[in-house]
Structure 1
Amino acid sequence: MKAATATILVLATFTLLSSGKKFRWCTLSDLEQRKCAELSKALLAVLPLATINSFARVSCIRAQNTHDCIDKIRVNKADAVSLDAGDVYSAVKLYGLTVVAKEIYEEGNCVFAVAIARRGTLDIQRLRGVRSCHNGARWTSGWNIPLGFLLARNELLWDEDQPLSQVISQYFNASCIPGVGITSPQLCALCQGPKSYVRNKNHFCETSSSEPFYDSEGAFRCLKNGVADVAFLDHLTIMNGTDSDQEEYELLCPDGSTAKLSAYGTCNLGRGPGRAIISRHNFQKITKKFLTLIQHLFGQNGKERAKFELFTSVPFRGKNLLFRDATQHLQLLKDKAEISHILGLDYVALLKGLGHEGSSLDNSVVRWCCISNAELRKCEEWALNIKSDPLVCVQAASMTNCIELIKSNEADAATLDATHAYIAGICGLVSVAAECYGEGCAPAAGRTKKLTHLADKALPPVYAVALAKKNARHVNIHNLRGRRSCHSHLYSPGGWLLLSRYTVGALENNTVNCDIGSAYQSYFWKGCMPGADKNLCKVCIGGGEMEGAKVSSRCAANHNERYYGNMGALRCLVGSPSGRSFGDVAFLEHHNLLKNIESLQSSGWAMGYTLNDFELLCLDGRRVAVTDWADCNLGPVPPNIVMTRPVTTTKIYGFLMKSQETLETNLDSKFHLFHSQKYGESDLLFKDATQYLVHTSHLDYQSILGDPFFQLAESVFNCTHADILEFCKQDICTS
């Protein structure tokens, strides 16, 4: 059946190509031109006589560099070429071309970006002032991922008003970055291509094989020749390195250590998409059929491979001609596929952050993610009271929605609770700052609060507690099954993750309760866990009876649901103003519990309640006063964390620092970053208990969360379905 389909496809391709139009492949060197010509001859030799005339029309179009190829395809002087993912993005977004196929390597479509140096000469933390060679400007492994890495580590300080190339010129002593352009002579200083005033004869610092240090092979050659101290390239070049290479050179790892060249899977600066084939929109079907044909004949399993090998360059005394030699096969793509789905959300967000589409309004503002109308009001007032980068408030439906928006480059930052910070870390986001609570965080007398650098000292946690009404004497921690429950929200650290250890057994992965989401559904009779569904939404009331209770906000994972958050869980325990919709137990955090109970007096929600009307449920079955949370809790909850994409950490950190300083020095300001009461809710944008924000972008999210919490989250999410993790784990690297 497969053979018959292939035959039909081949014949269809013959028909298309015999229509009188040449199929024109763009080449970047004389060696590629030779290989392309041999491909044309091989086609003539193996095709049926009836189709010889059509394939005599396949021709090879020589271009000056990769951008010349893009331009030739755009103006209908060539039809297709295989390019680095960075150039593919430019071809699609800036020149209106389309992607028709991806090269697939042994480990999928992606490549590891690696930094290589001579043994014992360098580490990743000592790159400032060295000489560097890169495989290409705005390329995945030589530019995009390394620069994103350096920006995320605050090694490169980039004010987006200046060109990024200028910042790199100041960071490295001298470089060869083919394709960077004549406006950055320092970044071409090490290149050795022939110079000429005649455009077609000038190959100096060009993305063409006539520049000796072009592409990953060239960048490695630059290092081997002693011209540079470090080379940035992809792992495919060193996959089959010689014994001599293995002995003389090593990889620079992110943690400051070094490793053998063969350890690229664990010692790299990041992973990104490999090369892909571009064409014009109106020619993509013909291009796909042509690629299918040549792969069927001359690919790894091609039936005419003895006459010509598509993914081999050795006979032409070159490397990576037409396609990467490491290519296993070409994967054809669906028509009208989004570029973010082809190259990956993280990679596209990185390219936008590095200015691949030029400067835009998005680059000059900070877009903060808000999850309710109340947060939006507070955010808008924040924007009016700061003297820093302009702040734009982006509204989302939930914290998980914020993670999606940040990953997709539709927002820049949000403050996330510990469980959502874990999810965001899986999603590729990184920490910028963490909230600091309690007396241990109160600044010394006379010292201005500011973003403080966190070393090895752990931040003070808050505690998860279980709360019941004092008059409900029959309720204790051991008999909660079948009761009505109130939780701050789905995935909340205290009311979902930590609680699972004492109710549905989060660590008992071999039991029927492995999926915590479904286990809660059967454990409690009904409840309000905003963001959940089924019986865990039955107690929720949406906007509240006093406000007409919009159906759309009922059980929403944001403050538009009156039972959302710590204050919401307390309201749920007390019951709605009419006396209906209430729970038997509430799971929340201690940090603002006393204040929230006191606020019931003036809320119009539940008059007459005092601290003495509630008790905490302890793990040993006791019930104690609300003030005894230190001895009666479900465990510590790590602090909330501000998270963003790696390339924007410096911008968000600078924004928070300026913002905090501005608001503290303006004593007349009625706006306070860590106060929410005036907006009718609590813990908006940040926890109200926050004393100040601590700088954490030098730490990974696992360190901030701590091993016990991280391991519990890992255990639970390993067997609990979450749509957000499905979104986060989309892998463009596999074929």
Structure 2
Amino acid sequence: MKTALLIIIICICWSRCWGKKVRWCTVSAMEQRKCAELAKALAGVLPPAALAAFGRLSCVRTYSTDDCINKLQANRADAVTLDAGEVYTAVKQFGLTAVAKEIYSDGSCVMAVAVVRNGDLDVRSLRGRRSCHSGARWTAGWSLPLGFLLSRNYLPWAEEQPLSQAVSEFFNASCIPGSATMATSLCTLCQGEKSYVRHHNFHCETSHNEPFYSSQGALRCLQTGKGDVAFVDHVALTSIHEDEREDYRLLCTDGSRARLGEFQHCNLGRGPGRGVVTRFNYRTIARKFLNAVQTAFGRQGRARQRFQIFESASYGSRNLMFQDATKKLAILTDDSDISQVLGLDYVALLKGLGHEGSSLQDSVIRWCCISAAELLKCERWALSIKSDPLVCVKASSMSNCIEKIKRDEVDAVSLDATHSFIAGKCGLVPVATEYYGEQCVTSEDKKTGTAHFESDVLPAVFSVALARRSTRGVSLSNLMGRRSCHGHMYSPAGWLLPVQHIIGDQENSSAPCDPSTVYSKVFWKGCLPGSQGALCKVCVGGKEEPGTKRCTDNHNERYYGNMGALRCLVGDPSGKSYGDVAFLEQHNLEDNIQSLNSSGWAEGWQPSDFELLCTDGRRAPLSEWESCHLGAIPPNIIMTRPVLTSRVYDFLMKSQETLSAHRDLEFQLFESQSYGESDLLFKDASRCLVHSTHLDYRAILGEEFYRAAEAVFNCTHSDILDFCQQDVCSIF
């Protein structure tokens, strides 16, 4: 009965292939033999009549995966399984399409690990060593490790040179199968047979005829003493015999080393595993073929005693046709975009590494702006510098900037501490940090002659609660039913820090931990740009079109940010729509009060007309903010995608150098009042931008602020975090 049902299922799948012969691409004699055995097994499962009606599997022998891709494009083969980096190339440069992904025990991704023999080698001392890689442009053997080395500035990469040249100059010698056309030193360690006949040359090719091909081959390169380090995927570690495992260690990103079994926390990054590609007009047939084969010969296949598609040992090798560690194939739908299949981070990494070749985009820095005022300042910045070209891109909010960086639509932005926390969770990394100290200290880069700003101490600013002096009854202990003014959604001073003081002072409070929920319960109404409901009722919208763009999470809402919260406290120019308490940052507060008069917003206000609300219930003058505040706020962090850190940092340093050398320029990087706002692009309190590519965002934020943010977001819904946490490794 079971056999009959199996035949019916496979017949249905094959009958819909319209009698097409499926031509599978192989890259070695061993893989050709396994493919032939699969064809024979299918013939044994299907009755002769079905074979005649539905066609057969045939195996097309090629000499490399590059040759496979060419044959697929030329309609001389139909399908092949490739590393994710090759999948991207096949889709973007050859017009092929992905139809399936391999799924492993912990999802569809692999971790890139650097394996070395026991010794003193660490990830910071790889320059001049001999390297073994699974393959050129492969996830674990190329893209992830090089992305990591670039993000830490361990691997120098001059803008005008190809990445392959930078890699060949970094390592003393290498074997990177598939790199023969890039740089000769990248193939020095390879062992494949050399021949002047193209189809017989296997040296440094992506074929099992190159002994050091794939993760298994890279480990072989290390084990035979040819190389000092092997960049492979974590799946390959299981092939190292138990008796030998103590002879090897993994290199961790912090400079430490770990045992082979500790790859979960000691790796160079995680990226998509292998996928099956075909021509676009063949995708329906390929999917049905894969479904049929998996139904018969997969892990739960009804005929798996006859043949197993995820087993290769009996053919004298590993990972033939598919990875042996594959649990199943996830069949992709027609609407699966390559960014969904491989993940936004990985696609952005490949673009950053030049997988699509050079373009105009590679020579510019795209800065994210969240309002017309920021766009204007950014454009004047671009006109004032003579370094790399700057392009200004409009976004709707800081969260939208994070999303656009993830999508490779912009490159960098300066984020407040809370948004930096979110960006860090989204995989972005620090480039530089705003410095609010008295004096910036420069250190000269001897190689470039460029002045870099360094500091071991990163001064904070502080969150304060501000009230009009005339409203004597307002204090932190009696805010129930008042009207509130907050800088914007997720702002440290206006959203994150005040909530812990407000919760503690409300009697009979159920103490929800979502700040927006707390504020909506405590306050009658307010203005929290980016929020909704009662917390938008005090907002006034845009200046150009009154009543429009109300409560937007950017400067188009006149009550946005520190200056906006102050305007909210005094009311709009007509004296209406105001709050009783404002939560904002203490820096530049007196200057902002003075600008109320000069900007024409409100007349007659002086710093003495306002008081701070202290946590002990008292009120204090503005000058006493050091003893009357709601908490310290870490500095803003300029963040980007990991592979761009060096380029963005160099741009910022050149920009600072240019502007510092020409103080007569009308444009000032850390000044915003001439645009009618405050803190545009950077905080006005900034003195300079200091080097931070060597620091983790958590280290810059500090443990106290990091834990506070983590506690809040553990119980607060966030659309941007939902977007970032769409894990391509586990959604299939």
Contact (CA 8 Å) 1:13, 1:286: kept in 2 or not? Answer: no
Structure 1 residue 481 displacement after superposition: 1.9
1:334-413 map, 5 Å? 334-413=333-412
Aligned twin of 1:582: 578
Q: What CA distance in whole angstroms lies between the structure 1 residues aligned with 2:450 and 2:22?
A: 66
1:497-576 map, 5 Å? 497-504=496-503, 511=510, 513-544=512-543, 547-551=544-548, 553-576=549-572
Structure 1 residue 495 displacement after superposition: 0.9
Q: What CA distance in whole angstroms lies between the structure 2 residues aligned with 1:517 and 1:8?
A: 57
Q: What CA distance in whole angstroms lies between the structure 1 residues aligned with 2:122 and 2:441?
A: 38
Contact (CA 8 Å) 2:10, 2:46: kept in 1 or not? Answer: no
SS, match of residue 211 in structure 1: coil
When structure 1 is superposed on structure 2, of 175-184 and 140-149 the one drifting more is 175-184
1:247-266 map, 5 Å? 247-266=246-265
Aligned twin of 1:716: 712
Q: Name the CA shift for 1:452/1:80 in 2 (closer, same or farther; >3 Å).
A: same
When structure 1 is superposed on structure 2, of 433-442 and 462-471 the one drifting more is 433-442
Contact (CA 8 Å) 1:44, 1:56: kept in 2 or not? Answer: no
Aligned twin of 1:87: 86
Contact (CA 8 Å) 2:299, 2:310: kept in 1 or not? Answer: yes
Deviations 1:200-241 (A, max 9, x none): 100110001110000000000000111111110101010353
Q: What CA distance in whole angstroms lies between the structure 2 residues aligned with 1:62 and 1:340?
A: 30
Deviations 1:670-700 (A, max 9, x none): 1110111111111100111111111111000
Q: Name the CA shift for 1:183/1:357 in 2 (closer, same or farther; >3 Å).
A: closer
Contact (CA 8 Å) 2:467, 2:580: kept in 1 or not? Answer: yes
Instruction: Tell me whether 1:621 sits opposite 2:617 in the alignment.
Output: yes
1:648-727 map, 5 Å? 648-727=644-723
Structure 1 residue 334 displacement after superposition: 1.2
Structure 1 residue 515 displacement after superposition: 2.8
Contact (CA 8 Å) 1:506, 1:716: kept in 2 or not? Answer: no
Structure 1 residue 357 displacement after superposition: 0.4
Q: What CA distance in whole angstroms lies between the structure 2 residues aligned with 1:232 and 1:373?
A: 46
1:213-252 map, 5 Å? 213-252=212-251
Structure 1 residue 244 displacement after superposition: 2.7
Q: What CA distance in whole angstroms lies between the structure 1 residues aligned with 2:681 and 2:570?
A: 25
1:563 corresponds to which letter in structure 2?
Y
Contact (CA 8 Å) 1:431, 1:641: kept in 2 or not? Answer: yes
Contact (CA 8 Å) 1:507, 1:715: kept in 2 or not? Answer: no
Contact (CA 8 Å) 2:442, 2:453: kept in 1 or not? Answer: no
Q: Name the CA shift for 1:449/1:135 in 2 (closer, same or farther; >3 Å).
A: closer
Q: What CA distance in whole angstroms lies between the structure 1 residues aligned with 2:249 and 2:506?
A: 41
Q: Name the CA shift for 1:38/1:569 in 2 (closer, same or farther; >3 Å).
A: same
1:294-373 map, 5 Å? 294-373=293-372
Q: What CA distance in whole angstroms lies between the structure 2 residues aligned with 1:159 and 1:340?
A: 28
Structure 1 residue 6 displacement after superposition: 7.9
SS, match of residue 59 in structure 1: strand
Aligned twin of 2:446: none
Aligned twin of 2:604: 608
1:489 corresponds to which letter in structure 2?
H
Contact (CA 8 Å) 2:440, 2:454: kept in 1 or not? Answer: no
Structure 1 residue 438 displacement after superposition: 3.8
Aligned twin of 1:425: 424
Structure 1 residue 158 displacement after superposition: 1.1
1:642 corresponds to which letter in structure 2?
I
Structure 1 residue 54 displacement after superposition: 4.5
Instruction: Tell me whether 1:646 sits opposite 2:647 in the alignment.
Output: no
Aligned twin of 1:463: 462
Contact (CA 8 Å) 1:504, 1:516: kept in 2 or not? Answer: no
1:721 corresponds to which letter in structure 2?
H
Contact (CA 8 Å) 2:100, 2:276: kept in 1 or not? Answer: yes
Contact (CA 8 Å) 1:450, 1:692: kept in 2 or not? Answer: no
Aligned twin of 1:732: 728
Q: Name the CA shift for 1:511/1:173 in 2 (closer, same or farther; >3 Å).
A: farther
SS, match of residue 630 in structure 1: coil
RMSD: 2.0
Structure 1 residue 36 displacement after superposition: 0.3
Contact (CA 8 Å) 2:370, 2:554: kept in 1 or not? Answer: yes
Aligned twin of 2:13: 13
Deviations 1:350-409 (A, max 9, x none): 000000000011110000000100000000000001111100001100000000001111
Q: What CA distance in whole angstroms lies between the structure 2 residues aligned with 1:132 and 1:599?
A: 60
Q: What CA distance in whole angstroms lies between the structure 1 residues aligned with 2:150 and 2:287?
A: 38
Structure 1 residue 464 displacement after superposition: 0.4
Q: What CA distance in whole angstroms lies between the structure 1 residues aligned with 2:584 and 2:3?
A: 63
TM-score under structure 1 length normalisation = 0.96
Q: Name the CA shift for 1:585/1:249 in 2 (closer, same or farther; >3 Å).
A: same
Q: What residue ranges of structure 1 are gaps of 5+ in the alignment?
A: none
SS, match of residue 502 in structure 1: helix
Deviations 1:75-118 (A, max 9, x none): 11111111000000001111111110100001111001000111
Q: What CA distance in whole angstroms lies between the structure 1 residues aligned with 2:504 and 2:109?
A: 39
Q: What CA distance in whole angstroms lies between the structure 1 residues aligned with 2:279 and 2:655?
A: 47
Q: What CA distance in whole angstroms lies between the structure 1 residues aligned with 2:466 and 2:24?
A: 71
Contact (CA 8 Å) 2:19, 2:55: kept in 1 or not? Answer: no
Structure 1 residue 245 displacement after superposition: 2.8
Q: What CA distance in whole angstroms lies between the structure 2 residues aligned with 1:538 and 1:230?
A: 61
Q: Name the CA shift for 1:449/1:319 in 2 (closer, same or farther; >3 Å).
A: closer
Q: What CA distance in whole angstroms lies between the structure 2 residues aligned with 1:120 and 1:596?
A: 59
Q: What CA distance in whole angstroms lies between the structure 2 residues aligned with 1:507 and 1:188?
A: 69
Query: Number of matched residues?
Result: 724
Structure 1 residue 439 displacement after superposition: 2.6
Instruction: Tell me whether 1:160 sits opposite 2:159 in the alignment.
Output: yes
Aligned twin of 1:184: 183
Q: What CA distance in whole angstroms lies between the structure 2 residues aligned with 1:393 and 1:3?
A: 64
2:71 corresponds to which letter in structure 1?
K
Instruction: Tell me whether 1:490 sits opposite 2:486 in the alignment.
Output: no
Contact (CA 8 Å) 1:514, 1:716: kept in 2 or not? Answer: yes
1:430 corresponds to which letter in structure 2?
V
SS, match of residue 439 in structure 1: coil
Q: What CA distance in whole angstroms lies between the structure 2 residues aligned with 1:273 and 1:460?
A: 40
Q: What CA distance in whole angstroms lies between the structure 2 residues aligned with 1:243 and 1:3?
A: 40
Instruction: Tell me whether 1:452 sits opposite 2:448 in the alignment.
Output: no
Aligned twin of 2:170: 171
Q: Name the CA shift for 1:507/1:525 in 2 (closer, same or farther; >3 Å).
A: closer
Contact (CA 8 Å) 1:366, 1:412: kept in 2 or not? Answer: yes
Q: What CA distance in whole angstroms lies between the structure 2 residues aligned with 1:126 and 1:504?
A: 50
Contact (CA 8 Å) 1:341, 1:732: kept in 2 or not? Answer: yes
Q: What CA distance in whole angstroms lies between the structure 1 residues aligned with 2:514 and 2:61?
A: 58
Contact (CA 8 Å) 2:86, 2:138: kept in 1 or not? Answer: yes
Q: What CA distance in whole angstroms lies between the structure 2 residues aligned with 1:328 and 1:507?
A: 54
SS, match of residue 238 in structure 2: coil
Instruction: Tell me whether 1:290 sits opposite 2:322 in the alignment.
Output: no
